[in-house]
C-alpha cells in the first residue's frame, strides 16, 4: 500500500461530531486522562494521518495512542452518532502496520507470536510446553519482567481437548446440526469448556460438527493491522462451513464471535462473497445467545428450583458476579442474556459488578503489546471484583478468564474463581440431571 493511499472511510470518520459522550466509557481515557487516548482524540489522529498532517514515524508519532486503543468498542455503545469506530480502527491499524517503524521486540511479538503462533492451535500448544515447564519448576523469576507477565497469564493446568469432527446427539433423531467454532486458544487452554459447550448443545437435542479444517476466525489479524491475512482466513472458513450445511454455528469466545458476524464487512471489497458471508453471519451465535434461542425451559426451571431452595454445587453456591467481555457487550450488544442465566443459578447470591463492561485489559493480545496499561486495567477490574465480595466471576471469553484470573492471583485472591458461562451452566445443569431435549421424530423441526 502506498503511504498516500486513503485508508480511512472519510464519511465514517466525519460521523464523529466531537460531542465527547464516549469519553467516560473509554477505558484508556479513564486511565490516562489524555484526549489522544480517547475515541474522539483517536479519530482526530486517524484523520490527521490520512490528511498528511501527522507522520507515523518521528517525534510526535500518533502510533502510541493508536496502539493503546483496546479495540473494546465501548465507545460505539456510548456514541449517539453511530460512529463505526471498530471499522475505522481496523483500517487505520492496517495502514500503521504497513508503514510505521516498530522496535525489534514489537516486530517479534506481532509477526511471530501474535500473527504466526497464536492462530494455529498446534503451534500454540507446542509453545505452552516449555512455558509450563518453567512455571512448574518455579523458574519465572529468572525471566525478564515482560516474559514473566506473559507466563502469569497461563493457567496452571491447561485443559487440552482433541475434538471429534462429529459429535452426534446421544438421543436421535436430533433437532438439527450445530457447527462449533473451535478457535485457537480454547482447544489448547480451555478444552473442557468446549466439552461443556458440546454437552449443552447435546442437551438441547442437536448434533455437533467441528470441522477439523476450520482455521482462526481472523480476529487477531483484523484487530492487529493484518487485514489481508484476516480476509484469507474468512474466505477459507466461509467455504468450510458452507460445505457442512449447519443449521447454526455456535462460538464460545466473544472476540471470535464478533469477527465472524462481521465477515460481510471484512470482505466488503469482494462482491462475489457478500451473499455467502451474510448467510454465514446469519447462522453465527454466541453461546449465550444460542441457548436462549434454541428453545428450552431451563431458565424458568432453574429459577423455580432456586425459589424452592435448591443450592447449586460448589463453587457455584457462593456470591457470584458477571464480567462482560467487550466483544460480547459492545461489538455484539449482548449483555442481558448471559446475566439472566447467571442470575437464574445464583439467585440472591448474584452480585452486580461495577464497571462490568469496562475492559479487563486482555483485549486479544493487548496484555502482551501494551503491558503497562493492561496491568492498570487488570488492577481496576480486580478492585471492583474484590469490592463485590464475590467468590466466583463468570464471563464469556477465554482472554478475559486468563487476564482476570492472573490479576486475582497476583493480588492474593486465590480463592476467587473465574469461570466460562458454558462451564458454569454445565455444572448447574449436571447437578440437576437435566435431560436431553431431542424431540420425537414427528415433532422434529
Ligand atoms: S460519542 Fe461518538 S460522536 Fe461523540 S465524540 Fe465520541 S465518537 Fe465522536
Ligand atoms: S475501542 Fe475502547 S479503548 Fe479504543 S477508543 Fe473505543 S472505548 Fe477507547
Question: 207 has which bridge partners?
Answer: 177
Any residues with Cβ below 6 Å from ligand 2, and which?
25-28, 39, 42, 69-75, 85
Q: C-alpha grid cell for residue 162? A: 482433541
Atom in ligand 1 nearest the alpha carbon of residue 21: 1
**101-146 pLDDT, tens per residue?**
999 989 988 888 888 888 888 898 888 888 888 888 888 888 887 7
Q: DSSP 3-state assignment of 24?
A: helix
Q: C-alpha grid cell for residue 245? A: 450445511
Whole-number pLDDT of residue 442:
37
DSSP 190: B
**Sequence-ordered alpha helix ranges (H) in 224-354:** 227-244, 254-261, 263-266, 274-283, 287-293, 298-307, 326-329, 336-346
Domains defined along the chain, listed by start: 10-99 (1.10.1060.10), 298-431 (3.40.50)
Half-sphere exposure of 439 (CA within 13 A, CB side): 10
Q: Which residues of the chain have pLDDT under 50?
A: 1-2, 439-445
Q: Residue 333, by phi and psi: left (phi above 0), alpha (psi -120 to 50) or beta? A: left
Ligand 2 centroid, distance to 327 Cα (angstroms): 12
Neighbours of 334 (CB within 10 A): 23
Question: 251 has which bridge partners?
Answer: 286
| Pairing state between β 166-167 and 207-209 | antiparallel
Whole-number pLDDT of residue 49:
95
Whole-number pLDDT of residue 239:
97
State which H helix or E strand residue 395 sits in: strand 392-395
Whole-number pLDDT of residue 414:
93
Q: C-alpha grid cell for residue 138? A: 518455579
Whole-number pLDDT of residue 289:
95
Ligand 2 centroid, distance to 85 Cα (angstroms): 8
Q: What is the CA radius of gyration of the chain?
A: 22
Ligand 2 centroid, distance to 39 Cα (angstroms): 6
Q: How far apart are CA 28 and CA 69, in angstroms?
A: 7
Amino acid at each position: 500500500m502506498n503511504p498516500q493511499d486513503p485508508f480511512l472511510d472519510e464519511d465514517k470518520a466525519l460521523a464523529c461530531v466531537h460531542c465527547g459522550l464516549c469519553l467516560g466509557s473509554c477505558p484508556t481515557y479513564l486511565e490516562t486522562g489524555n484526549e489522544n487516548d480517547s475515541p474522539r482524540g483517536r479519530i482526530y489522529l486517524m484523520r490527521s494521518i490520512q490528511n498528511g498532517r501527522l507522520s507515523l514515524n518521528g517525534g510526535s508519532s500518533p502510533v502510541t495512542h493508536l496502539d493503546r486503543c483496546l479495540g473494546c468498542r465501548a465507545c460505539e455503545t456510548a456514541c449517539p452518532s453511530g460512529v463505526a469506530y471498530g471499522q475505522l480502527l481496523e483500517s487505520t491499524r492496517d495502514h500503521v502496520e504497513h508503514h510505521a517503524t516498530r522496535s525489534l521486540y514489537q516486530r517479534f511479538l506481532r509477526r511471530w507470536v501474535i500473527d504466526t503462533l497464536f492462530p494455529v492451535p498446534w503451534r500454540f500448544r507446542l509453545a505452552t510446553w516449555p512455558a509450563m515447564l518453567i512455571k512448574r519448576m518455579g523458574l519465572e523469576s529468572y525471566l525478564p519482567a515482560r516474559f514473566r507477565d506473559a507466563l502469569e497469564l497461563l493457567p496452571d493446568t491447561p485443559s487440552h481437548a482433541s475434538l471429534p469432527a462429529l459429535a452426534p446427539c446421544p438421543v436421535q433423531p436430533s433437532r438439527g446440526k450445530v457447527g462449533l467454532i473451535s478457535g485457537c486458544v480454547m482447544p489448547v487452554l480451555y478444552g473442557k469448556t468446549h466439552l461443556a459447550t458440546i454437552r449443552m448443545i447435546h442437551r438441547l437435542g442437536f448434533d455437533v460438527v467441528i470441522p477439523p479444517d476450520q482455521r482462526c476466525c481472523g480476529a487477531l489479524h483484523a484487530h492487529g493491522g493484518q487485514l489481508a491475512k484476516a480476509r484469507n482466513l474468512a474466505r477459507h472458513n466461509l467455504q468450510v462451513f458452507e460445505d457442512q450445511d449447519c443449521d447454526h454455528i455456535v462460538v464460545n469466545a466473544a472476540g471470535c464471535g464478533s469477527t465472524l458476524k462481521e465477515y460481510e464487512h471484512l470482505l466488503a471489497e469482494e462482491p462475489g462473497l457478500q451473499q455467502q458471508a451474510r448467510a454465514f453471519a446469519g447462522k453465527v451465535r454466541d453461546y449465550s445467545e444460542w441457548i436462549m434461542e434454541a428453545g428450552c425451559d431451563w431458565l424458568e426451571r432453574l429459577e423455580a428450583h432456586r425459589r424452592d431452595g435448591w443450592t447449586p454445587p460448589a463453587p457455584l453456591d457462593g456470591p457470584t458476579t458477571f464480567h462482560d467481555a467487550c466483544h460480547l457487550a459492545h461489538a455484539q450488544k449482548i449483555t442481558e442474556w448471559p446475566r439472566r442465566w447467571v442470575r437464574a443459578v445464583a439467585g440472591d447470591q448474584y452480585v452486580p459488578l461495577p464497571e462490568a463492561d469496562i475492559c479487563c485489559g486482555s483485549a486479544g493480545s493487548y496484555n502482551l503489546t501494551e503491558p503497562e496499561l493492561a496491568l492498570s486495567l487488570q488492577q481496576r477490574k480486580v478492585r471492583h471484583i474484590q469490592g463485590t465480595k464475590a467468590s466466583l466471576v463468570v464471563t464469556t471469553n477465554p482472554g478475559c478468564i486468563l487476564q482476570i484470573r492472573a490479576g486475582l492471583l497476583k493480588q492474593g485472591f486465590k480463592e476467587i474463581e473465574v469461570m466460562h458461562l458454558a462451564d458454569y451452566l454445565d455444572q448447574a445443569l449436571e447437578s440437576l440431571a437435566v435431560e436431553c431435549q431431542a424431540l420425537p421424530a414427528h415433532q422434529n423441526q
